[in-house]
Amino acid sequence: MLKRTPFFEQHQQAGAKLIDFGGFEMPVQYSGIKKEHEAVRTAAGMFDVSHMGEILFKGPHAKDAVQYLTVNDVEKLVPGKAQYSAMCYENGGIVDDLIVYMISEEEYLLVVNASNKEKDYEWMVSNNPHKAVIEDISENTCLLAVQGPKSIEILQKLTEIPLDAIKFYTFEQGTFCGYPDVIISATGYTGEKGFELYFDKDKVSPANVWNRILEAGEEFGLLPAGLGARDTLRLEMGYALYGNDISIETNPLEAGLGWITKLDKGDFIGRDALLKVKETGVTRKLTGFVTDQPRDIPRHGYRIADEHGNIIGEVTSGTQSITEVKGVGMGYVATSHAATGSRIMIEIRGKFCPATTAKAPFITKS
């Protein structure tokens, strides 16, 4: 039986098309992917992402435990700051990508992907030599993401916390819709200004929060948005998705996550393997690309070739950009063909279609 988030009734009332996503019955779209995508780029969209996993690390050794499990440097955090990171296996393969929130000196919140929640929690508990207190609070945690250029104006009606002071990858904890202890963060997955709202479903009315945000956003064109638009939005920005672009089969250095992998911070799981990878160099790289013809739409699993037809990789994520109407995607290609501006071919419906490797984002952002 599929699980449901506390907003299931709201999705039904809004006419959502529901699908199985990571074991949850989730909205893929309401009014249509294109309409929802455009709302986020021009006004705002509200996503229910309560299927994500939230795991608390507490106690005097919480920081040490998180530092040992993750590739980024937790020492750089202060209370109120968040950090994009990942966990690796001993061989350097990626367990999951995640966000680390520093609540206080002795409390960290790790937000992980829905489909990996159980696996991640088991991995954390079984790799906890520092004996931190680790608690899975996912069941009780609601998570809404309001994304788009109008998000500040909409949400500011519902809180006295100055939202324009919440910079990218920071957060505040306070009163929202009259409820205390709501975390408001700005970590985003769409490329637009936006916020995430974390709250306990037993202390806050999920339906009330959902409805009040919709009311506050009505004059600005806010729409409820589903997983379909979430995917097209993140792809235009070149953001990786676990299970597609990163996995146990990939390491952070070939996945373009070298910038979060702090090999000089001291010991962490996977460090030795990643040091060897850095020494010998990667043989393939996760590379973005844009197709020459807007109608040539790349999809996951399509083969990538060089200009002579030699297979050099495979598409991990692909779609037609809604904002600029062109085929965009990502895939692992041999390092020799990964430089920006390289000419490649994508096999689409049995035909090799020309494309050019490109740096993310794949749309023009002001």
**Chain segment 238-259, per-residue pLDDT in tens:** 999 999 999 999 999 999 999 9
Distance CA 193, CA 316 (A): 26
Query: Cα dihedral sign for 128, 132, 137, 143?
Result: negative
Q: Which residues pair with 26 in a beta bridge?
A: 19
Average pLDDT in the 301-328 region? 97
Do the bridges between strand 94-104 and strand 24-29 make them parallel or antiparallel, or are there none, so unpaired? unpaired
Q: Which two tokens stand for residue 17?
A: 């098309």
Give the model's pLDDT for residue 129: 98
For residue 366, pLDDT over 70 is answered with: no
Q: What is the mean pLDDT of the chain?
A: 97
| pLDDT in the model for residue 82 | 98
Residue with token string 């959502």: 16
What is the model's pLDDT at position 22? Answer: 85
CA-to-CA distance for 87 and 140, rounded, in angstroms?
24
Domains and CATH numbers, the chain: 8-49+139-235 (3.30.1360.120), 283-360 (2.40.30.110)
- Name, in order, each residue with C-beta under 8 angstroms of 140's C-beta and a sequence gap of 6 or more: 200, 201, 202
C-alpha closest to that of 111 among 233, 197, 228, 6: 197
Tokens of 297: 């739409």
